[in-house]
Amino acid sequence: MTDRSPASEPAIPRVLVVDDDRRMASGLAQWLCGAGWHASAAGSAAEASRAAARGGFDACVVDALLPDRGAVAVAEAVRAARPAAGIVAALPVGALPPAGLSADAVVTTPVRDADLAAALDIARAAAASRAPARPVGGGGVLGTHPAMRRVLDVVGRVAATPATVLVTGESGTGKSLLAREIHRASGRRGPFVEVACGSLAESLLESELFGHVAGAFTGATCDRDGRFLQADGGTIFLDEIATASPALQVKLLRVLQEMEFEPVGGSRTRSVDVRVILATNENLEALVAAGRFRADLFWRINVIAITMPPLRERGTDVPALADHFLRAAAARAGRDVVGFTPAAGDALLRHAWPGNVRELEHAVERGVFLGQGRLVDLADLPPAVAASGHAPPTTVAPPIKQALAVPERQLILDALERSGWRRDVAASRLGINRTTLYKKLKRLGMDLAALEPAGSPGDVSPPAAARA
């Protein structure tokens, strides 16, 4: 049975709501509790400052027009206890915040639930950019977004098993890094051996994997061990497995089933103890249907399938990833670069990252290498990324609706995770009934069968009203 001790669970984020109308503060705090936060309410700047001193909050929603510049005092007290805390200022339409109030996001009053959720999402992303980047999983796989937490949860459960793992996802999402994390967490003492199948000619790939004997082909002047033998006792990672030829697929199937093979041109059978991880950015099921990939091999490697989410679907991880890459690039360049200007940071958050984490890494490296100051500026970033910083704010109705779907989806996922994927409990946490929850899941295109971890209780079926 999997250990789910409290220490292994992600901490519930804490938020302080401050308004001199205590009923308003309590109402917002109550809604946030239902949305999965640990929320506290305060009716004055003095009360809020005392609460902040007792324990650090991850975020604070404060009435920016508190008497005697109280909002400034509250923000300072909250950040004194936790420097990376996100601050959301609540203001009437057209009002200006007091001088000295450093807020990460603004929400207009009267506050709407969806607007507050979106503002907190922005504030937490800004807070993450101030906090030091930290690896989640221990092997350099960075990310605190729930999508990455689910990936790493699966890694934690299967790493120590001998199961074959298939990692899928778009190019640049970090499939190789995840394979290394699986190996690190597996406890296997042998080496991690990576083979980029797509970079080798078909005539050389079989020899690269299984080795050859002298005289097997022109130029084979001596015996040579292949990568499988080199990985004995450890892990072999076969990237771009969809490029394997039909003949190689047959041989791979035998290795996966029996852990035995013969070198090219040889007759002696070699046995190995190897954990096999494979990766592809192609749809293997479609290749099977097209006759380009063996069905028996597909079902053999599809034992544990892990899909790496694209970076655009976990935008809150961008600040921490960017900071991690900046530190690494600055160390390699021997330069004192410590962060990003606000314009550059905004561009990083706005960019869609079609090249995923790899594109982000290269963009940050360019900024560090070309920049002249201690902060990477907008002009130091690649043109495509810098152009995102000039994008106008999304104020028309369709983009706002699309943007609000992101925090709504996140709130639902968080509620489901904290409810053990019980739909009825999650609906109660969100303050809605189960039928409304299913309608929202359908509207947002959320397939819970694909999202929830194996073994979760869930529900047997959606309510009749949701199926209609």
Phi-psi region of 357 (alpha: psi -120 to 50; beta: other; left: phi over 0): alpha
The pLDDT-based confidence of 275 (bands split at 50, 70, 90) is very high
54-72 mean pLDDT: 85
Phi and psi for 327 in degrees, rounded to 5?
-60, -40
How far apart are the C-alpha atoms of 232 and 261, rounded to whole Å?
13
**pLDDT the model gives residue 452:** 64
On the CB side of 199, how many CA atoms lie within 13 Å of its CA?
6
Please state, rounded to an integer, the average pLDDT across all residues of the chain.
Answer: 80
Higher pLDDT, 1 or 304: 304
Show Cβ contacts of residue 185 under 8 Å, excluding neighbours closer than 6 positions. Answer: 137, 138, 139, 155, 156, 159, 160
| Nearest-angstrom CA–CA distance, 58 and 78 | 9
Higher pLDDT, 293 or 437: 293
296 vs 146, residue with greater confidence: 296
Structural domains in the chain, CATH included, are 13-130 (3.40.50.2300), 146-307 (3.40.50.300), 314-388 (1.10.8.60), 397-467 (1.10.10)
Q: Which pLDDT does position 459 carry in this prediction? A: 52
Tell me, what's the pLDDT at 69? 85
Q: What is the mean pLDDT of residues 157-168?
A: 92
Residue 316 has pLDDT above 70, yes or no: yes
* Nearest of 57, 68, 61, 142 to residue 106 by alpha carbon: 61
Residue 4 confidence class, pLDDT cut points 50, 70, 90:
very low
pLDDT of amino acid 7: 36
Digit-coded pLDDT (tens) for 164-189? 999 999 999 989 989 999 998 888 88
Q: Band of the pLDDT at 142, cuts 50, 70, 90? A: low
Residue from 317, 308, 321 nearest 364 by CA: 321
pLDDT at 131: 53
Q: Say yes or no to pLDDT of 59 above 80.
A: yes
pLDDT range class, residue 192, cuts 50, 70, 90: very high
pLDDT higher for 443 or 183?
Answer: 183
253-269 residue pLDDT tens: 999 988 988 888 777 88
pLDDT at 366: 93
**What mean pLDDT do residues 325-329 have?**
88
The pLDDT confidence band at residue 135, using thresholds 50, 70 and 90, is very low
Here the tokens at position 419 are: 């409810």
pLDDT tops 80 at residue 455? no
The tens digit of pLDDT for each residue in 244-253 reads 888 889 989 9
Q: Please, which pLDDT band fits residue 241 given cuts at 50, 70 and 90? A: very high
